[in-house]
Amino acid sequence: MTDFILTNAQLVLPDEVIDGTLTVRDGRIAAIDPGPSRVAGAIDCDGDLVIPGLIELHTDNLERHIQPRPKVDWPHTAAILAHDGELASVGITTVFDAMRIGSVVSNTRTDYRAYARALASELLEVRARNVLRISHFLHLRAEICSETLIDELAQFGPEDRVGLVSIMDHTPGQRQFRDISKLKDYIVGKHGLTDAEFEDHVATQVATRDRLGDRHEAAAVETAHRLGAVLASHDDTTAEQVAVSAGHGVRLAEFPTTLEAARACQEHGIAVMMGGPNVIRGGSHSGNVAAHELAGDGCLDILSSDYVPGSLMTAAFALADIWGDVPRAITTVTRAPAQAASLTDRGALEFGLHADLVRVHRAPPHTPVVRGVWAHGRQVG
């Protein structure tokens, strides 16, 4: 069903919340009116909020479904469908599926192999069968501290619907893992390395960055232009790094690690995105700047669910409580990510846009509960 009416709802518009009725025809928003509807068959929302469908720009949740346990390769079509259904269930109606590009094959204990081209092809094939509930785009996470980035980037073309290319640099000792002890906790916990093996890992990664990093960074920038994708930075830490990002044409900063970097992004007109888990946990698991600090400083524009899909809705309403402003908070998961990704057909409750909608009830103590999800006018959750 792509024609229906939602009434007796609190409609979260870009700048206000109104009690009203929303009409959908042919999968698009056809009317927004104050007050209740008297049309027979209108869906009574019982005073619940109706917001635009959430837009997720950076999640590796698909990877979690593909490999639910170490060395387990789950059937990929089943994993894609499970991932798609999980996102729909928490109100996400558009997702940029993040896939790492760039591999390390020289260290058998901490290597990571190429997978993105094959997985992207499978995702595109499943999408072509029209069995997915929500809209899927590709997000290539270009790891410059790797050995194979240029060859892997060359495997993608304009037909792949790549919406985002982000420049990743996980070289030990800077950006996300400026605190080496945090990196050690992560790597040793994941791979069970000895102290000597960890030191060797760090040395190998630093040497790889010194040898290939500049070429890889340039290749990532060129690929974004070639594919017509939005370019994003990742884990900017200093104003100098932000200036370099701006010079590359970056429009989106994923998870800046300091207040200094976030403020510099604002000065350069770069949208700042932080993780929903950071908001909910009250801080970064890597010891970097807390999202609520950026929110209080006025330099937080977009939220991402990162590694917990359900965190996107919960974090948005947490921001609503911090700011005392529901429309502003909902914008961080709807209109702002749409604008950052150059999507002009969704992201707000406005006439003519896709009917990507979520009905949300706020249960005590203000916990958001999803009661209905529509993507392009079809109910998917």
**Residue ranges, the chain, pLDDT below 50:** none
Report the C-alpha gap between 21 and 4 in whole angstroms: 11
Distance CA 352, CA 26 (A): 10
**Structural domains in the chain, sorted by start:** 1-52+347-381 (2.30.40.10), 54-345 (3.20.20.140)
Q: Rounded CA gap, 157 and 143, in Å?
A: 18
Question: Alpha-carbon distance 23 to 356, whole Å?
Answer: 12
Helix (H, G, I), strand (E, B) or coil at 258: coil
- Asked if 76 and 119 count as a contact pair (C-beta separation under 8 A), the reply is yes
> Which residues touch 110 (CB under 8 Å, ≥6 apart)?
104, 187, 191, 193, 201
| Token pair recorded at residue 307 | 């590694």
- pLDDT at position 187 is 65
C-alpha 102 chain-centroid distance: 20
Confidence at residue 103, expressed as pLDDT on a 0 to 100 scale: 84
Question: What confidence tens digit (pLDDT) does each residue in 315-329 have?
Answer: 999 999 999 999 999
**What's the pLDDT score for residue 182?**
65
Helix (H) or strand (E) holding 212: helix 195-227
Structure tokens that stand for 245 in this block: 């990002």
- Among residues 129, 135, 133, the alpha carbon closest in space to that of 161 is found at 135
Short-list 215, 265, 214, CA closest to 237: 265
pLDDT at 32: 98
- 43-44 and 378-379 strand pairing: unpaired
Residue 23 · residue 41 · CB < 8 Å: no
- Please provide residue 284's backbone torsions phi and psi, each rounded to the nearest 5 degrees: -85, 140
pLDDT tens per residue across span 140-167? 999 988 889 999 999 999 999 899 999 9
- Residue with structure tokens 């207040």? 259
Two structure tokens written together for 375: 């993507």
Token pair of 103, please?
A: 């591999």
